[in-house]
């Protein structure tokens, strides 16, 4: 899951760079979605690493 989060972060940075290169002055919408997806994956990875309280 960490590799997926890293890939999403890389894609978000790429979108930001592309936006800057074409003179954009606002965050690209897909960068925001990629960032939200990365955070969700990181949260899921964290939750899966926690010990199960039911055992």
Residue 38: give the domain boundaries: 1-49
4 assigned to some structural domain: yes
As a whole number of angstroms, the distance between CA 36 and CA 24 comes to: 21
54 assigned to some structural domain: no
Residue-level pLDDT at 38: 97
pLDDT in tens, the chain (55 residues): 999 999 999 999 999 999 889 887 777 888 899 999 999 999 999 999 977 766 5
Residue-level pLDDT at 25: 77
Residue-level pLDDT at 29: 84
Largest CA distance in the chain: 55
Phi, psi of 4 (to 5 degrees): -65, -45
23 assigned to some structural domain: yes
33 assigned to some structural domain: yes
Indicate the DSSP class of residue 55: -
Residue-level pLDDT at 24: 78
As a whole number of angstroms, the distance between CA 32 and CA 35 comes to: 5
Residue-level pLDDT at 53: 65
39 assigned to some structural domain: yes
What total of structural domains would you count in the chain? 1
19 assigned to some structural domain: yes
């Amino acid at each position: 899951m960490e590799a997926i989060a890293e890939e999403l972060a890389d894609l978000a940075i790429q979108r930001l760079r592309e936006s800057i290169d074409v003179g954009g002055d606002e965050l690209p919408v897909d960068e925001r979605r990629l960032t939200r997806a990365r955070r969700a994956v990181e949260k899921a990875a964290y939750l899966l690493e926690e010990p199960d309280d039911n055992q």
